Amino acid sequence: MQVNFMDEIKKLPIVVRYELLKQVRRFRLYGLLLIGSVATGLAMALGAVYLPSIGTLDARALSYFIVYGGQVSFFGLIAGVFVSGDAIASEFEHKTGYLIFPNPMKRTTLLIGKYLSCCIAATLVVTMPYLIISIGVLALTGQFVGELFLSYAFCVLYTCSIVSLTFVFSSLFKGTMGASVLPFLLMFFVFPIIAGSMELGGVEPFMLLSYSGSIISNIFIIPFPPHKVSIPISVGGTIYMEVTYFYPDVVEGVSIMVCYLVVGLILSILLARRRQMA
Amino acid sequence: MAKEALVAEGLTKFYGPIKALEGLDLKIAQGESVGLLGPNGAGKTTTMKIFCNIIKPTSGNAYINGSDAIKESSKALKNVGTIVEVCEFYPFLTPVETLSYLGRLRGMKKSDLPAAIKRVLGRVKLQEWANVKVGKFSKGMKQRLAIAQTLLHDPPILILDEPSLGLDPRGMAEVRSIIKELKREKTVFLASHLLFEVSETCEKVALIDRGKLLAFDEVQKLESVFASERIQVEVLKSLDADQLESIKSIEGVKKASASGTLVFIDFKGDKETQANILEGLMERGIRVTSFRPALGSLEEVYMRVVKEGK
């Protein structure tokens, strides 16, 4: 049994290598890199123009401006979904499973190999904006903020969680389209609706991945935003309603991401192992 | 007795309410070449998919060299080359990259790969396309590559589902030639709806229909068994309609038909009946130049078995 396990471990880097080769050969990876770079460059230019007018062009403010305003976490989302949406589903949709499944290798090994390669490719996409931010901020302010590393680490973790979530849909759906569209629907519509409703009701949406993503930009804020902020707002005349906003702290944010990463990966493996090419 | 390379034990498979396989039992010894024949929906591909761990049986077991094809798939598939349905490839990889990937997964040494890849690509005549992305390949070229990947690690067992599908007549002939060559040293289990492909490449044939095994024997034996109740008679002069009609009145004769000077007589009975038929022909003044059991083609066997199976 141990010999079999070692055999599978040896096959893992082989799967990662060739799955990564497939990613590198696709135009979408370069498209994502280009879009991420252009958007980050644009956010940096806007920051350089607007921040001096409010007297705050320092490294921390500019980094926050670009990461928050440039929606760097958004690239984590699109990178995660675009590189992994078809990872499993396409084996069934395009029938390449007939080539890869009848090999002396556990399906779990194949899936973990695919997962790692998708994470590497998606991480590459989010690395580019951070490289641009680091160089740009240093060039414009002559300073560098250590939180940029933390923000990058959170963004990579967030991206890998997105890959896990997408893998669940990819192992569930036959078509790559459904596997790619559903994570977007969840992150853009379903989760925000749930989060908004829960916050209005004064309940923390701690179970949502989109909620955890705010630590990527909030890490630049000193002091770190309080966990709970309640603001009374007028809803007509003297009638006031208390609206509560929640901000996850670093530990909570990281925990949510890790949960999505682990549970999503395990669930996708279980689903894909049961799936048959009828 | 040779050890069994492939064994199916009571294989049953349901796709929802549809029964694709019903208690299939099959034993293929090492070194045998067996063709799995059957009409569309007979259960051929389902059988192949179970052996290749692509689907799981509803009940029953499949073994490759004694290892359970489902529970011990890694061990079972280690020494097997497979083609299942229309084999698709990753369009962004070249044949060399694809074969390197598969070779490494099958435990081949990195240093052995270049020579092995060159050998198999040469065998399927794809050397010139070795470094072109597979996305640009035609269906026939992909099928050639599919054959190449089955041979890459020189496996002792080949499981081939419609290996010549999508190939032009020349390609089909080349594939048959490769299989004929391989069957001398390997176990070949080939599913096909092409009767001539099976009769030309396999020693034994398993006929299945609606998921049930109807017959399993050597091709020649099956042909002779099903031909034993048919006599081929050559006569000196072509028979007229009356003469042909009069043959049907001979005891034991079920049917008589003629094609030029050849007369085919279907009968029910034993050798005694055959002797009576010969005497009956003489009595009717029919001058016989030869009289022998007609050997049925595999096609006739197939049609009769499938028909009777229904």
More confident residue, B35 or B269: B35
Instruction: Give the pLDDT score at B297.
Output: 66
Instruction: Give the pLDDT score at A89.
Output: 95
Contact residues, chain A, for B53 at CB < 8 Å? 101-102
CA distance linking residue B114 with residue B100, whole number of Å: 8
Instruction: Give the pLDDT score at A2.
Output: 46
- Nearest of A2, A15, A193 to residue A91 by alpha carbon: A15
Q: Are A133 and A67 in contact (CB under 8 A)?
A: yes
* Interchain contact, A101 vs B102, CB within 8 Å: no
Interface test with A, best of B84, B86, B153 (most A CBs within 10 A): B84
Report the pLDDT averaged over residues B224-233: 74
Residue A165 clears pLDDT 50, i.e. is over it: yes
Burial class of residue B14 (count of CB atoms within 10 Å of its CB; 0-12, 13-18, 19+): middle
Contact residues, chain A, for B84 at CB < 8 Å? 98, 102
For residue B21, give Cα distances in angstroms to B34, B56, B209: 18, 12, 9
Would you tell me which CATH number, out of the four given (3.50.50.60, 3.30.70.100, 1.10.150.20, 3.40.50.620), belongs to the domain B228-296? Answer: 3.30.70.100
* Interchain contact, A22 vs B101, CB within 8 Å: no
Please report the residues numbered 14 through 43 in chain A whose beta carbons come closer than 8 angstroms to any beta carbon of chain B. 14-15, 18, 21-22, 25-26
Residue A40 clears pLDDT 50, i.e. is over it: yes
- The domain segmentation of chain B, as residue ranges, is 4-224, 228-296
- The helix or strand, by DSSP H or E, that contains position A49, with its residue range, turns out to be helix A27-50
The whole-angstrom distance between B66's CA and the closest CA on chain A is 15
- Nearest of B306, B297, B252 to residue B39 by alpha carbon: B306
More confident residue, B40 or A101: A101
Would you place residue B309 in the very low, low, confident or very high pLDDT band (cuts 50, 70, 90)?
A: low
* Interchain contact, B74 vs A101, CB within 8 Å: no
Lowest mean pLDDT of A155-169, B113-127, B289-303, name the range. Answer: B289-303
CA B276 to chain centre: 38
**CA nearest to A24 within chain B:** B92
| Token couple for B260 | 């030029």
Residue B203 clears pLDDT 60, i.e. is over it: yes
Q: Do domains B4-224 and B228-296 have the same CATH topology?
A: no
**CA nearest to B53 within chain A:** A102
Contact residues, chain A, for B149 at CB < 8 Å? 99
**CA nearest to B71 within chain A:** A106
| Token couple for A180 | 């790619």
Would you place residue B225 in the very low, low, confident or very high pLDDT band (cuts 50, 70, 90)?
A: low
Q: Are A277 and A98 in contact (CB under 8 A)?
A: yes
Contact residues, chain B, for A26 at CB < 8 Å? 92
- The domain segmentation of chain A, as residue ranges, is 2-274
Lowest mean pLDDT of A43-47, A189-193, A265-269, B157-161, name the range. Answer: A43-47
Torsion sign across C-alpha atoms B95, B97, B103, B109: positive
CB atoms within 10 A of CB B122: 12
Residue A192 clears pLDDT 90, i.e. is over it: yes
* Interchain contact, B55 vs A276, CB within 8 Å: yes
CA distance linking residue A21 with residue A19, whole number of Å: 5
Q: List strand residue ranges (DSSP E) for chain B, in order.
A: 4-15, 18-29, 33-37, 59-64, 67-68, 80-83, 157-161, 187-192, 204-209, 212-218, 230-235, 253-259, 262-267, 288-293
More confident residue, B63 or B294: B63
In this prediction the pTM is: 0.85
Contact residues, chain A, for B104 at CB < 8 Å? 11, 14
Architecture of the domain spanning B4-224: 3-Layer(aba) Sandwich (3.40)
